[in-house]
Structure 1
Amino acid sequence: MKKIIIALLLFAGSFAAEAQELIWETNVSKAMEVSNKTKKPLLLFFTGSDWCGWCIRLQNEVLKTPEFAKWAKENVVLVELDYPRRTNQTPEIKKQNNELQQVFGIQGFPTIVLVNSTKKDGKINFEGLGSTGYVAGGPTAWLDVANKIINHKL
């Protein structure tokens, strides 16, 4: 009987872990489709995932927390725009990320930009809501800044 209960708990736990798993799009066009359907802004995360200490710190202290996962699912479409040094990327992703880095004038990592997007006559328009980076104080402090951006109070 104990084995059955333990097996059921492990089985249920695997679903709980999956429920917390966030989907980070890497293709901005695909993310825009989701954003337009759900009426949620894009959260563009410009990161150097395998070399940027502050990016890794932001990931560990905020972006990988249950608080952020809950907030993100309710409020934004997540997009990771990575500039790794050791991880290979497709030429299409490199091109897309470099173009977006230019469009938004990203000069340092990590930078998070919150935007609404529209596509008209084959052209993409971004309406910038605001940007942030690493914020000390864990998920509560970071989410406070993000909520102010989304609610146009920053």
Structure 2
Amino acid sequence: MKKIVMMLFVVFGSLSMQAQNLNWHTDVKEAIAVSNKVKKPLLLFFTGSDWCGWCIRLQKEVLTTPEFAKWASENVVLVELDYPRRSNQSPEVKNQNNELQQAFGIQGFPTVYFASAESIGGRINFKGLGSTGYVAGGPAPWLQAANSILSHK
């Protein structure tokens, strides 16, 4: 009995650690380079991490789960574009995030935008694949929506 409990602890612990080990880029140029190298689209997460209730809920119910971690590592390069009210950001990050919010026409949070991109002559060209936001029901329905968007790329 102790062996079973210990094995379950190890399995769930490793799944939890996998969710925590996701690499969320905050520099979009760096993320584009990785995306092009590994041939995976970008997942751009527009969030108000310290004030947006739906953003916090999406993080808790989907983005920190083992299911999402496994899916993300196989399918996308993660980019977090945060618009906090109580946390400080560097002027570069704040400017980058504001430019991307305008470029993608983001009007509400959370918005998750899927795109591919390339940098040509110092200018970034995005190809939008689709977007989603909070989807009720946990990781399964959210991943179904994400897979539907990515299947049309």
- The answer to whether the aligner puts 1:135 opposite 2:135 as a matched pair is yes
Question: What SS class does the counterpart of residue 135 from structure 1 fall into?
Answer: coil
Unaligned runs of 5+ in 2: 1-5
Unaligned runs of 5+ in 1: 1-5
Alpha-carbon separation, structure 1, partners of 2:11 and 2:63: 24
Aligned length: 147
Question: What SS class does the counterpart of residue 130 from structure 1 fall into?
Answer: strand
Identity %: 67
2:48 counterpart residue number: 48
Question: What SS class does the counterpart of residue 107 from structure 1 fall into?
Answer: coil
Alpha-carbon separation, structure 1, partners of 2:42 and 2:60: 21
Alpha-carbon separation, structure 2, partners of 1:151 and 1:11: 34
1:84 counterpart residue number: 84
Q: CA 1:29–1:49 in structure 2 vs 1: closer, same or farther (change >3 Å)?
A: same
TM-score (norm 2): 0.89
Rg bigger for which structure?
1
Q: CA 1:12–1:109 in structure 2 vs 1: closer, same or farther (change >3 Å)?
A: closer
- The answer to whether the aligner puts 1:19 opposite 2:15 as a matched pair is no
Cα displacement (A) at 1:18: 4.0
Alpha-carbon separation, structure 2, partners of 1:18 and 1:44: 22
TM-score (norm 1): 0.88
Please give the per-residue CA displacement for 1:62-82, whole angstroms capped at 9, x wherever unaligned. 001000000000000000000
Cα displacement (A) at 1:51: 0.2
Cα displacement (A) at 1:11: 9.6
Cα displacement (A) at 1:19: 3.5
Q: CA RMSD in A?
A: 2.1
Moved beyond 2 Å, runs of 4+: 10-20
